[in-house]
Amino acid sequence: MVRFSERMERTVKFKGEERVVRYRMVVEVSERTTDAKGNALLLPLVGVDAWITSLDLPEADVVAIYRDHGTSEQFHSEMKGELDLERLPSGKFMTNALILEMGVLAYNVLRLMGQIGLKGYKQRHESKRRRIRTVIQELLCVAARVVHHAGQVAYKFGRTCLAFDRLVLLRAHFCGA
């Protein structure tokens, strides 16, 4: 495998003004002599990947960042899907921007709740991270009774509520109680 980069610059016209744009092309050339099953190929398979970037990092770091773009896409897709933000409700840009910002805030709070509240929680199968839907189902969709007594409002959970300990842990973490 060979990696190299070349710096380039181009003059572009933007809104009637000429600007110089500097960028770099990072190229990775690899040669495979076997297929996915380990069988030898008659002729080697040459693969060329190229990235145009403005990042001023070593080639290996640029390749790693761009190869990991799927993770960012996955978080974006999860946020829009799980929080029902696929179709924004307004035709006005600023309204939709506000709703999207609130969605990002809700997503980050739910991710934090998932990281803190579900630590040590028994899962059906091992995974690297929990989806927002799982956090909502495990921590927020819990049956409880609202009790008004002596000017106080309290929630009463059943004896077998699996999420109760997690909710107490979250309350202690966020409220300091």
Residues 93 and 148 in one domain: yes
10 has a pLDDT exceeding 80:
yes
Residue-number span of the structural domain to which 78 is assigned: 68-177
Q: What is the pLDDT of residue 127?
A: 63
Residues 63 and 97 in one domain: no
Residues 154 and 89 in one domain: yes
Angle at 122 between CA 85 and CA 79, to 5 degrees: 10
Residues 47 and 102 in one domain: no
End residue of a domain, out of 20, 50, 67: 67
End residue of a domain, out of 52, 67, 82: 67
Give 33's contacts (C-beta < 8 A, 6+ positions apart): 40, 41, 44, 45
Q: What is the pLDDT of residue 164?
A: 85
Which among 164, 161, 155, 169 has a CA at the least distance from the CA of 117? Answer: 169
Overall number of domains in the chain? 2
Residues 5 and 32 in one domain: yes
Q: What is the pLDDT of residue 39?
A: 92
Q: Any idea which residue has 């106080």 for tokens?
A: 152
Q: What is the pLDDT of residue 29?
A: 93
Overall pTM surpassing 0.85 (yes/no): no
Q: What is the pLDDT of residue 145?
A: 92
Angle at 70 between CA 30 and CA 32, to 5 degrees: 15
Q: What is the pLDDT of residue 124?
A: 63
Q: Beta strands 144-149 and 152-157: pairing type?
A: antiparallel
> Which tens digit of pLDDT belongs to each residue from 76-134?
888 888 888 888 888 899 999 999 999 999 999 998 888 887 776 666 666 666 788 88
Q: Give the separation between CA 54 and CA 22, rounded to whole angstroms.
A: 7
Residues 86 and 56 in one domain: no
H helices of 40-163, where?
59-67, 69-82, 93-117, 132-135
Residues 113 and 166 in one domain: yes
Residues 34 and 101 in one domain: no
